[in-house]
Every structure is written in C-alpha cells, then in structure tokens.
Amino acid sequence: MPDQNLDNLRHSAAHLLAAAVMELYPKALRTIGPAIENGFYYDFDNLKISEADFPAIEAKMHQLSPTWKSFERIETAPEDAKKKFSDNPYKLELINEFTDQPITIYKSGSFEDLCRGGHIDLVSQSLNHFKLLSIAGAYWRGDEKNKMLTRIYGTIFPTKDELDKYLWQQEEAKKRDHRKIGIQLGLWTFSDYVGGGLPLFTPKGALIRQLINEFVEELQSKQDITQVWTPQIAKAELFKISGHYDKYRENLFSVRSNYSNEEFFLKPMNCPQHTQIYASQSRSYRDLPIRLADFAMLYRDEKPGELIGLTRTRSFSQDDCHIFCRPDQVEEEMNKALDMTKQIMETYGFKYKYRLSLHDPQHPEKYLGDAETWAKSEKLSEKILEDRGMEYFPGVGEAAFYAPKLDLIATDSLGREWQLSTLQIDFFMPQRFGLSYIDEKGQKQTPVMLHRAISGSPERLMAILIEHYAGAFPTWLAPIQVVVLPISDKHLDYAKKVEAELKSQNIRVELNDKSEPLNARVRDAEMQKISYILVVGDRESEAKSVSVRRHSSKESQSLSLSQFSSSISEEISSRTSTTTTTTTTPNV
C-alpha cells in the first residue's frame, strides 16, 4: 500500500477510535486525531482512562467498523458547523479559524467529525487490523499554556501479518531499550546534581565511546585528515556571523563572564570555530583541500521533556570534520567521505540509504543565502548520490539552515531507522566569514566548506548499537571481552596464568573467582553480555587449554590457550564477530 494510502488508513482509524470513545464515554470532548509515523492518535478532554480500558475500546471499534460503509464528505457553512459542535470548545476554536470558507465534516455510520479529509474508500474491509498502544498527556495544540489532554496512541496496518510483525518489533525494542541495558551493563549514569541530559560515562562506557572514535580516526587518518581541538565556548559574535545566533539561538546555552559584559555561548557545533583556524593564515590553491577533524564536546539546550537516554542529550560529541576545498575538489572529497561511511556502516552491520535533505522554498526565512546557490548545492548533492548509484529519497525542509545534507538513514536489526552520518556542501559559511584562497592566476577565491560526520554522535551511536546488538557488542567493542572462571580454588593459579597471558595480548579480560557456584558465575557473565566465557578445571590445567563458551551459546569447545588467544586477537583486529545482529521474527 502506498504511503499516502497508509496515512489515509491511519487517519481513518483515528476517526474510528474517536467514535468508540464517544460511545463508551459520552462526556468526553474530542479534539484532533491525525495520522503519524507508524500509527495515529486522538486527543480527548474530560477523559480519565488507563490502558486497562483498551480492550473495551478496541472491542467497540471492531463492533463499529463493519457498519461504516464510507466517509461521507459534508460541506457546511461555519455557522452551521458551530451549531453542530456547540458543546465542544475545541472544535469551535478550529471552526473560528475558517470563518471565510466552507467547513468540511466527514460522516461514517452515525459518527461525524470536523475534518479536512484524507480517508480510505473501502472502510469496513480495511479498518480491521489495529491495536491501541499507550496513553500520554498532551497540551492542546502543543502549547504548555493550554490544558493537558488525554492522548490515545494506536496503530493499524493493511494486514494482520504486518500488524503482528510491528507489535513484535515494539516488544523486542522494549527488551533492547538502551536506557535499561546501559544501566545493567554499567556504562553510564545520570545525576540530578549534574543535570538532565548530561550523561556521566563509567570506565566501561567511556571505553566503548573511545573505541567508536578510534575506528573513525583510524580510517580518516589514511585520508590525511588531521585533528584539531577548539574551546567549548565562543563569543556571541562568532555565532552571529555563522548565522546560528539568528537561526539556532533557542538551542544555544549562554555563558556569562564575571569580569566583563561579553556574551558567550557553549558551542553547539564545531564549524564556526574551524573557520577561524582556516582564516588564521593565507591559503593557496595548492594548500587545498584542508581537512580538520574535531572530537570536541558540543552542547545544545533541549527541552527537558524531549531528553531520551543517550539518543537525545544536552552534551555530546561528534566525529566532526570540515574540509575546505576548491570547487573542482568537491566531488572527490565527498566520495572519500562516502567510502569511509560505507566501510563503517558495513562493520556495524547496518543496511542504509540516504535522505537528500533539501531546503523548503516556501519558507526562505529559515535559511541563509539565495535561491540560486541553494539550487546549485542541491543539484550537486543529488548528482553525487546518483553517480554512485546510491538509494536515496528527498526530504524537503530537512536541510540545515546553511546547506543541504546527505543524511544516512541506517536500518537496525529490528528494521527501525536511525539518522546517523551526514555530509553537507556549504557555500554560505565561507562567504560569511570572508574565507579565501589565491588561485593559480593570483586571484582571490572563496573555498567550499564540506561538513562531515561519519558516526554522528558516538554517544548516540552507542545507544543505537546497544539496541542493534541487544547489548551483546561485537568482541572488538565489548568492554569486557573474556571472563575466566576457575571451577574451584585449586584451579585459581592456572586461571591467573590464563588471565595474564590474555592481558599480555591486549585482550580485555577479567577473572571471576568469587565464592559462588560456577553456574551462578556463568549466569553473571551472560547478564554482563561478555563475549567469551573461559572455564578452567583439572583437564584444562593439565592440558594448558581452556573450555570456551561464546555469549548466548550453550555449546562449549576445548582449545589450547594459544589457539584461543590467536583466534580472538584476529577477531578483534579485523573487527569481525560471531555476534549476530539479526533476530528471529514471529511467524507471520
């Protein structure tokens, strides 16, 4: 079913939900019920229910659905619409916004609702495979000054198989929630004294974060990309020139000096400061491209209610790189970045496509620069994708305020999509900062600035990888790669020799000699999702071997210590693993 039809199906289901609620709770007040990604919702006032009431509401929806033959469009004058909805102040508010044009009402069965349209045709045959999901509070029209309403979320699909698969996916996602697994594995914590959205990484979490960055650094160093380091704050004037002060100010943290009246901001991105490194000396066309990478921390003022674990925080870093180049170098540099992205995504096991994020010509006030330059950068971005044969789709209105973007959309092991890497061709910021180089004719020219982040934020990527791998990281990323379990105290000396040998090979190993039964220590290792469990007893001590068990496997095998050490070292260095990123889906 095309997306438009799916949206219509979901919007139609919102009508059905409202009709069922009004029959069961006639004193409730309807407001609005749109289709959204993966489902629909409807907001109600004067409705006090819980998820325990969902079965009754769903039953009523199933009862009503066969009686709905169509969505009948009724066009009426605003005054007549006001009479029909005279007892509902929310509908009256909406009607008052369209006093100079006809109002449309849609009727199915005996249920009528104020609506602009967008429904399915075969109603009774289609409104069948739905499920109510959750309840949340929502302010009327998203304004915190308005009354809090009761929002009921639901989903619907054309077939039962699709619905079952989606519901399975949601349940599996709950099990993999990075907020739960991250705490279980001891990777980070939050503190009310530090503040919301400001994660504190433990040694284990900091190690994973470091490994993610080192992978990027290993690859980009081969492309003559050099690291720089820039301050966490900058004067307001820097962001006024870059455009962030006008276009992005609501997300900036302000900082005040005790000794001057200067206005500073915590930096939300690295690009404005990188322009100043470029501008610090004269440049020739022979010097370009100049590639500056920066792993510095960034800060953005997010609303408290929008903070979500590591996927939306107030402090984070980026594997940022800004490339200053000549126009004739743009495609080559973009392709190098795309090659690097491909290698990293394949290593993590992500399938992906690109969103070509374009500016919205209907709202030029949101962007810097002129329409002609926007058309030029967007056409060039599209050409690069097409020349590579990349799968992509347009995203009008998704551009940064200064440039279109090639946004990588990764699909994880549950089929969910995440935006990770981004590449941008920016003609405006170099102009605004007056950047230049001298060409082969001795003339001053303006460079092009390419913005590139491969993993995006390593902290956010860590959260996505936790859910992608269900917490069982590939061995190269696992904070503890091996645990050694002596069967009894008499095997402790050999266990220590195994530990020492593996540490000498730079393998992250722990020895668990707690006075607990072996089965309990094995369960603990499984809970910590340690890649390999090595059990040593009489036989292993005598043969200088180890009994090897892979995480989540019930099978074990006997290997000499040297065999195991060689095997795991190869697995780590090649960044491969027997860890699977796929999950068995239900029989649908």
Which residues fall in the annotated binding site for Zn(2+)?
A: 271, 322, 451
11 counts as catalytic: no
Among 220, 273, 318, 481, the one annotated catalytic: 318
> For 250-258, which contacts have Cβ atoms below 8 Å and span 24 or more sequence positions?
250/301, 251/300, 251/301, 251/302, 252/300, 252/301, 253/299, 253/300, 253/301, 253/314
318 counts as catalytic: yes
Token look-up 């200064």 returns 402
405 counts as catalytic: yes
Among 10, 30, 322, 359, the one annotated catalytic: 322
Rounded to 5°, the CA angle 278-282-283 comes to 75
322 counts as catalytic: yes
Determine the residue type at 452. R
Q: Token digits for 200?
A: 């504190």
Of 327, 321, 320, 323, nearest to 289 by C-alpha is 323
Sign of CA dihedral 410, 412, 417, 421: negative
Determine the residue type at 1. M
119 counts as catalytic: no
For 19, residues 6+ apart whose C-beta sits below 8 A from its C-beta are 61, 64, 108, 109, 111
> For 372-377, which contacts have Cβ atoms below 8 Å and span 24 or more sequence positions?
373/427, 373/428, 374/404, 376/427, 377/403, 377/404, 377/425, 377/426, 377/427
Straight-line distance from the first to the last Cα atom of the chain, in angstroms, rounded to the nearest whole number? 18
Exposed, middle or buried, 84 (CB in 10 Å: 0-12/13-18/19+)?
middle
Is the Cβ–Cβ distance between 27 and 49 less than 8 Å? no
Annotated binding site: 271, 322, 451
Number of other residues whose CB lies within 10 A of the CB of residue 438: 15
For 210, residues 6+ apart whose C-beta sits below 8 A from its C-beta are none
Of 473, 190, 180, nearest to 313 by C-alpha is 190
Please name every residue paired with 294 in a beta bridge, in sequence order, or none if there are none.
Answer: 320
Is the Cβ–Cβ distance between 564 and 549 less than 8 Å? no
Could you give the CA distance from residue 28 to residue 23 in angstroms, rounded to a whole number?
Answer: 10
Please name every residue paired with 298 in a beta bridge, in sequence order, or none if there are none.
Answer: 316
Among 119, 151, 291, 451, the one annotated catalytic: 451
Please name every residue paired with 321 in a beta bridge, in sequence order, or none if there are none.
Answer: 293, 452
Give the H/E segment covering residue 206.
helix 203-220
Among 300, 355, 452, 491, the one annotated catalytic: 300
Is the Cβ–Cβ distance between 549 and 533 less than 8 Å? yes
Among 7, 294, 320, 426, the one annotated catalytic: 320
Please, how many CA atoms are within 13 Å of residue 233, restricted to the half-sphere of its CB?
11
Residues with active-site annotation: 271, 300, 318, 320, 322, 405, 451
